[in-house]
Chain A
Amino acid sequence: MSIELLLALSLAVPAAGTFLILLLRRSPNAREAASLVTAGALFAIVLRIYGVVSSGERPAVVLAEPIRGIPIALEAEPLGVLFALIASFLWIVTTMYSIGYMRGHHEKNQTRFYVFFAFAIASVMGVAFAGNLFTLFLFYEVLSLTTFPLVTHAGTDAARRAGRVYLGILFGTSIAFQLLAIVWTYSVAGTLDFRTGGILDGRLAGIAVPVLLGLFVFGIGKAAVMPFHRWLPAAMVAPTPVSALLHAVAVVKAGVFSVLKISVYVFGIDFLAAAGASIWLMWVAAATIVLGSLVAFTKDNLKARLAYSTVSQLSYVVLGAMLANSWGVIGSGLHILMHAFGKITLFFCAGAIMVAGHKSEVSQLKGLGRTMPVTFGAFFIGTLSIVGLPPTGGSWSKWFLGVGSLEAGQVGLMAVLMVSSLLSLAYLMEIPLKGFFHKPDEPPRHEGIHEGPKWSLVAIVTTAVACLALFLYPEPFYRLMTMVAGP
């Protein structure tokens, strides 16, 4: 099968999966099997693309050409492949998790849930393999639209309000800032293609460069850089698998991935560094890192705390891109990977605690670790990875981000990274500590071990083990990132 066809299939397979899911809606088992098969097929396709790209090729395919010179085009390059690998692998795991969660939690409209989930993944693939800014923008918007029904899944007043914030911020920023930035880029560069070294060098100068970069960073609301982060905590009304895959991995990572991709392939890190255009945004990201952590402290609701932790962690990736040197870019890319596995583990655990323990607030978790040891053990590992401690993958990305800060001569940023690590250690570690070492306020509802649904447990263990494995084997991903920005 030709590689170009595979590239198109990476979008078509999950999109076709939606029809299969709809077709099999009468039999939940067959429907979930369809989801799993689709997810597996997609991962196989992405692996094959990875094989080709890691040998140095950059396959591309044009799907349509709406405006002359601005096609809807897909191109597989290392950064996109990294993102696609993460999203497609975690889709398999999340589907397994969802089966346990959605049934255990007796959610309604499960078919609609799986359909839009598959659509969302198709758009994520589009974001990952976008060959130019227009295509990226297109799938970015489609992703906002397809995840909207997932956010408002519960259909309550709270869900409706959250949906309004969600779409309002994501669409508002993308239309008002991002689209303006894209047209601006086109009007000075005459192209929207992603190219190594960027397309703006020599075409834009002075104050315009930092302004344009700011339009991109704030226009990509999915990156949740403050003050446009409110949609992310709002989106937590969604069922937990949605929060786990989309609002810890796919959607938010689509945001920071776009920021990174634009920094590398539209501006070019050398141009950014020479123009000093990204310095002000470094500090915006640093502020988001610290403020996000501080707000997380105040949240007693577990999912809300995790959401603000995500806001904070996303800005690590933005910060890495703004450092505008190769260590920063490598750290940034690796952090997309490491944070994805760490945070999805935490969300999986939060969901399992909701389904099996019927608890949603941190203060209610005392002693729960004794009835759910695997879940709380996994939460502990996930926490280590988020904080960036060995023996988990998170330590690598923090390492490279630190190196990048020093290389950029920003010792202050290094301090921000350290402080924020301590903060996240404090607000996350509280949860396993409470679970394992505090005495429960009331006698537990269940005697002995009572873990979440078994499908969910499999998912939790998988991602927690992956956090550990990534500490030992970061090599293939590091190599992909050096292909993007070799030191």
Chain B
Amino acid sequence: MGEGAGRVTAHLPILQVVVPLLAAPICAVLRHGRAAAWLAVLASWSVLGIALALLGQVMAGGVISYHIGDWVPPIGIEYRVDIVNAWVLVIVASIGAVVAPYAIASVEHEIAARRIPLFYAAYLLSLSGLLGIAITGDVFNVFVFLEISSLSAYALISLGRPRRALTAAYRYLIMGSVGATFIVIGIGLLYVMTGSLNMADLAELLPGVWDSRTVKVAYGFLGVGICLKLALFPLHLWLPNAYAFAPSPVTAFMASTATKVAVYMLLRFFLSIFGAAFSFEVMALDRILLPLALVAVFSMSLVAIFQVDVKRLLAYSSVAQIGYMILGLSFASVTGLTATLLHLFNHALMKGALFMALGCVVYRIGSVHIDAMAGLGKRMPWTMAAFVVGGLSLVGVPLTVGFISKWYLILGALEKGGLWIAVAVLVLVTSVMALVYVWRVVESAYLREFSGDEGTREAPLSLLAPTWVLVAANVYFGIDAVRTAGVARQAAEVLMAGIGS
């Protein structure tokens, strides 16, 4: 490796955010749909390359600390990559890299031509915002990136074809802004108490002021704000409509990344900055989250069963799946947290694949109503096969990633012994509920007669190929989960010990 290459490697953390951030305005001024699309593809693929390189570096050499403008922290802004956020960066970047090429055909079908360059600008901004939240080591910076990603997400959702997309985006805007405000209040209170915004610094200073009421209030504000963002029941009301009415690639992207990054924020703030000890022993975080998670998993699975719009169905399922992630956290154990972190990745793969398959359906028949999808199994065999595999993964059938998540989650519950076996049972019962809602769609597609337009054909390859990349990933990481589970476990150990070092 030459000196130049070495210099680039050293700057990977900042490039991770800057590449999509700079590509976004270029997309906006390009004014030509296809050119903007290919720039977005190029940007998101390089983002994935950078994220993988960062994960490699962290696994080889430990935590990377990058000082912006060479200002030394805690005064300057620090980007800090440990195994936890390197993992999240890879998740976000992988989904981004698969969704970008998928978007080309899908967006031309669903969005007016003049708005397409703006779509890619917003998409890249949202991507860089999410990556920024994940990579930064500065809490105020988290807020800045949160706003970047959220504002662009509102714009993306409002691009959806149904007019209700506008109200869905507006609702998300209101709820999201409340969440962001709560978060910034929390950050402000922390700054008042410690005079620092650097995460590592905060983690050292906070134990000294644990007893103060202000810190506890800050904890509450942050908790509610972040839980709004990650759509934890009962703060999930913005999510179903936003997912249902957004353009297909946006749904696939947001469902697989936005809530995952919010879960990461929760873990980072509560386990790294406040510290696992403070969260679990002083604030009883586990006892607060456990009932919410259980209700989320159960009630949202139940609601999903009765949906007729398949996108909405999967949206409710997402709220339930987020419940699983929070459930893992509420175990307050390494195995539970491993399940959470694994499910971040695994759920991104399954929901990405499912929403992309639905995008193919929208492309051909313009609707994802369960009756409109009747008989599609014969008309669009590859699309529906993708949906079946994704659905089985959601249920947690062995050889898919869903099984791996369930395995660790149940193992975590049984490890705790006693009444926790009831939690394990509930996880399994809700898996059966997932089977019910997935199977309603499968049954409609395979066991009913097609009644739509005679000319309906399989979706184009440009949509199918990215979809099947995710489907293949669902199976691959279901068969070979040793590596993913290894990384997740390492990350869980880091989080449980406090800040990585």
Contacts and interface: CB of A to CB of B under 8 A. Distances in A.
Nearest to A69: B482
A115 to B, nearest CB: 14
Given A67-B482, A160-B443, A171-B432, A179 B415 contact: no
Contacts of A172: 432, 435
Contacts of A97: none
B108 interface: no
B278 to A, nearest CB: 29
A455 interface: no
A347 interface: no
B428 A176 contact: yes
Contacts of A67: 404, 407, 481-482, 485
Contacts of A163: 443, 447
B431 interface: yes
B400 to A, nearest CB: 10
A449 interface: no
Interface centre among B395, B404, B407, by most chain A C-beta atoms within 10 angstroms, is B407
Given A65-B482, A66-B482, A138-B398, A179 B410 contact: yes
B435 A175 contact: yes
B424 interface: yes
A179 B414 CA distance: 12
A177 B392 CA distance: 18
Contacts of A142: 399
A183 interface: yes
Interface centre among A160, A163, A168, A180, by most chain B C-beta atoms within 10 angstroms, is A180
B481 A66 contact: yes
Contacts of A179: 406, 410, 428
Contacts of A134: 398
Interface string A113-152: 0000000000000000000001001100110010000001
Given A67-B485, A167-B439, A183-B414, A138 B399 contact: yes
A67 B486 CA distance: 9
Nearest to A159: B447
A160 B410 CA distance: 32
Nearest to B417: A187
A290 to B, nearest CB: 30
Shortest Cβ-Cβ A-B pairs, 8 listed: A138-B398, A187-B414, A183-B410, A160-B447, A176-B428, A172-B432, A66-B481, A175-B431
A412 interface: no
Contacts, number: 79
Contact of B429 (A64, A167, A176): A176
B63 to A, nearest CB: 25
Contacts of A427: none
A180 B428 contact: yes
Interface in A184-242: 184, 186-187
A51 interface: no
A410 to B, nearest CB: 31
Interface in B93-152: none
Interface string B478-490: 1111100110000
B10 interface: no
A64 B251 CA distance: 34
B424 to A, nearest CB: 6
Contacts of B414: 183-184, 187
A68 interface: yes
Contacts of B443: 160, 163-164
B499 interface: no
Given A68-B485, A187-B414, A176 B432 contact: yes
B396 interface: yes
Interface centre among B398, B399, B425, by most chain A C-beta atoms within 10 angstroms, is B398
B397 interface: yes
Interface in B62-81: none
A208 B479 CA distance: 31
A155 interface: yes
Name A's interface SS.
helix
27 contacts: A66-B398, A66-B399, A67-B481, A67-B482, A137-B398, A141-B398, A142-B399, A145-B397, A159-B447, A160-B443, A160-B447, A163-B443, A163-B447, A164-B443, A167-B435, A168-B435, A168-B436, A175-B395, A176-B425, A176-B429, A177-B428, A179-B410, A180-B410, A180-B424, A183-B411, A183-B424, A187-B414
Nearest to A149: B446
Contacts of A177: 428
A171 B447 contact: no
Given A160-B443, A187-B414, A66 B431 contact: no
B384 to A, nearest CB: 13
Contacts of B411: 183, 186-187
A138 B443 CA distance: 23
Contacts of B486: 68
Interface string B403-429: 010110011001100000100110011
A176 B429 CA distance: 6
A312 to B, nearest CB: 27
Interface string A438-471: 0000000000000000000000000000000000
Interface in B443-501: 443, 447-448, 478-482, 485-486
A206 to B, nearest CB: 14
Interface string A473-484: 000000000000
A155 B479 CA distance: 33
Contact of A183 (B407, B448, B478): B407
Nearest to A67: B481
A159 B446 CA distance: 12
A180 B398 contact: no
B478 A66 contact: yes
Contacts of B436: 168
A424 B486 CA distance: 55
A351 B312 CA distance: 45
Contact of A66 (B392, B421, B447, B480): B480
B410 A141 contact: no
A66 B481 CA distance: 5
Contacts of A64: 479-480
A195 to B, nearest CB: 21
A159 B443 CA distance: 11
A140 to B, nearest CB: 9
A175 B428 contact: yes
